[in-house]
């Protein structure tokens, strides 16, 4: 289920079946051009990634809008806000919470997060639409799907 009107209506009618929450984490940068490039490709990739995973598991995964934060802020400071998102989700019958990210800075704070952090090394090959990149992504997505299933 995605964050849109049609899916929300469906979600509210079948909440008990959708027990997995997916939050993509993406940094934002506006100062440094190099960083901008890097975070934009992270954003593109995470979008493609989460959509693919959601597509196959529509009936069990709820995909939240991307959680964004400044690249320059210490992740330690972001922890309470992100954890508050997760706390809020406990008003709904979610059993599994996955945080998808290509930002390795989170890895260090993994233990303080209230969800399962899934960090992937980003593919920096530039063109997201080239056939080769798509093949690599599809392959990665396949493994991610297996991983998600193993938690159910």
Partner 1 sequence: MSEKKQQVSRRQFLNYTLTGVGGFMAAGMLAPMVRFAIDPVLQTHARGEYKAVAEVDEITTEPQRFDWTIDQVDAWYESEVTKSAWVYKDEKDDIIALSPVCKHLGCVVSWEGSGDYPNEFFCPCHNGRYYKDGVNVPNTPPSAPLDVYEHRIEDGTLYLGNAKPRGEA
Contacts to partner 1 by CB under 8 A: 10, 14, 17-18, 55-60, 149, 152
Output the smallest distance, CB 42 to partner 1, in A. Answer: 22
Residue with tokens 């991983």: 147
Minimum gap (Å) between residue 24 Cβ and partner 1: 19
Q: Which is nearer to partner 1, 1 or 23 (CB)?
A: 1
Residue whose CB is less far from partner 1, 3 or 72: 3
Q: How far is the CB of 60 from partner 1 (least distance, A)?
A: 4
The full length of the chain comes to 152
**59 or 80: whose CB is closer to partner 1?**
59
- Roughly how many angstroms between the first and final C-alpha of the chain, as a whole number? 17
Distances (CA, A) of 5 to 10, 12, 95, 121, 144: 9, 11, 23, 33, 27
DSSP state of 2: -
Torsion from C-alpha of 52, 58, 60, 64, nearest 10 degrees:
70
Helix, coil or strand: residue 26: strand
Q: Which residue, 104 or 142, has its beta carbon nearer to partner 1?
A: 142
Q: Taking the complex as a whole, how short is the minimal distance between the CB of residue 149 and partner 1, in angstroms? A: 6
């Amino acid at each position: 289920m995605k964050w849109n009107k049609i899916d929300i209506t469906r979600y509210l009618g079948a909440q008990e079946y959708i027990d997995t929450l997916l939050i993509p984490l993406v940094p934002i940068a506006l100062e440094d051009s190099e960083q901008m490039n890097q975070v934009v490709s992270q954003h593109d990739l995470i979008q493609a990634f989460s959509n693919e995973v959601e597509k196959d598991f529509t009936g069990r995964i709820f995909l939240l809008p991307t959680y964004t934060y400044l690249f320059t802020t210490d992740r330690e400071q972001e922890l309470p806000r992100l954890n508050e998102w997760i706390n809020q989700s406990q008003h709904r019958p979610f059993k599994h919470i996955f945080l998808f990210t290509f930002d390795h800075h989170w890895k260090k704070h993994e233990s303080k997060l209230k969800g399962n952090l899934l960090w992937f090394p980003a593919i920096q090959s530039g063109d997201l639409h080239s056939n080769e990149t798509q093949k690599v992504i599809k392959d990665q997505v396949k493994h991610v799907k297996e991983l998600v299933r193993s938690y159910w």
